[in-house]
Amino acid sequence: MAGALRLGGHTFAPGELVVMAIINRTPDSFFDRGATYAADSALRAVERAVDEGAAIIDIGGVKAGPGADVDVAEEIRRTVDTIAAVRAAFPEVVISIDTWRAEVAIEAVAAGADLLNDTWSGVDPALVRVAAQTGAGLVCSHAGGLTPRTRPHRSAFTDVVADVVATVTGLAERAVAAGVRPDGILIDPAHDFGKNTRHSLEVTRRLDELTATGWPVLVALSNKDFIGETLGLPVAERLEGTVAATAVSAWLGARVFRAHQVGPTRRVLDMVASIRGDRPPMATRRGLA
């Protein structure tokens, strides 16, 4: 199992299962459809997420999929003031900026972000330098060779898991060589990114091959298309599939779980931790009276 993970002022122990709450400062998110686009709505969502057990707040200003163009200035406008407000209101929480752009990352870290969540596999080479120069953490992901905000078409891999492992560990090693703190790096197989549903299922099934690398693994499973296609369900009905994939991923060694629905995710992770022997039950009265 990987060692301690240090993000901002918080150190997460090797056996600790961590919820990263998704806060979308976008009007066109595939899941919440702009529910947290307004600044006050975003802050209320952060408060709920922290109350429900999120330790990391991931703030994004650009929809991952195709859509209206969002330039650097607009992405900064959507995210940086919110990061500053969250930092002021919740000084202990870890704040992540969901961006692939170095210009956005610089402003986000200055406002209080602790982690650069790059879901596009290092497409901007300057991003790693921002992490190195500021001490921020970095997520190294596998996007299957796609450029930002594009969808996969006839994705093909000789071995998708081998490709994921080679890509994310290569990015992590290059980040360390560039001066990024090793204890601030996570790897993310990036379910759905550059992958079809069968690929994402295989990555989940063989997630222990990623955790065996020694790098802490982040999974972003929440309500994704591979879950919808597997179960034949629309976005609004994918919670059970999401938490099933979450439980399997936790059992196989993932440590950070990016989620829309924090409460159910936190409870599932607590149950997995207790089955694993890392967390005591809240009560043990049954059969003792």
Cα separation of the two ends of the chain: 38
- Does the residue 197 lie in any domain? yes
How far apart are alpha carbons 182 and 287 in whole angstroms? 47
Quick check: 213 and 206 in contact, CB under 8 A? no
Tens digit of each residue's pLDDT (9 = 90 or more) over 43-99: 999 999 999 999 999 999 999 999 999 999 999 999 999 999 999 999 999 999 999
The whole model's pTM is what? Answer: 0.96
Boundaries of domain holding 266: 16-276
- Does the residue 81 lie in any domain? yes
- Does the residue 166 lie in any domain? yes
Helices assigned H by DSSP within 135-238:
160-178, 197-205, 208-211, 225-231
Distances in whole angstroms, Cα of residue 257 to Cα of each of 20, 184, 197, 202, 264: 6, 16, 19, 18, 12
- Does the residue 208 lie in any domain? yes
Distances in whole angstroms, Cα of residue 87 to Cα of each of 40, 47, 81, 90, 238: 15, 12, 10, 5, 31
CATH number at residue 183: 3.20.20.20
- Does the residue 7 lie in any domain? no
- Does the residue 132 lie in any domain? yes
Size (the chain), residues: 289
Beta bridge partners of 144: none
Say which residues have a Cβ less than 8 Å from residue 66's Cβ, sequence separation at least 6: 149, 150, 151
- Does the residue 219 lie in any domain? yes
How far apart are alpha carbons 226 and 151 in whole angstroms? 13
pLDDT value at residue 157: 97
- In the predicted model, residues of the chain with pLDDT beneath 50 are 1
Domain count, the chain: 1
| CA nearest neighbour of 47 among 80, 6, 85, 14 | 85
- Does the residue 6 lie in any domain? no
pLDDT value at residue 3: 86
Strands (E), the chain: 5-7, 10-12, 18-24, 56-60, 94-98, 115-117, 137-141, 185-188, 218-220, 256-259
| Burial per residue of 233-251, b for 16 or more beta-carbon CB atoms within 10 angstroms, e otherwise | eeeeebbebbbbbbbbbbe
Residue 191 three-state SS: coil
DSSP state of 146: P
pLDDT value at residue 105: 98
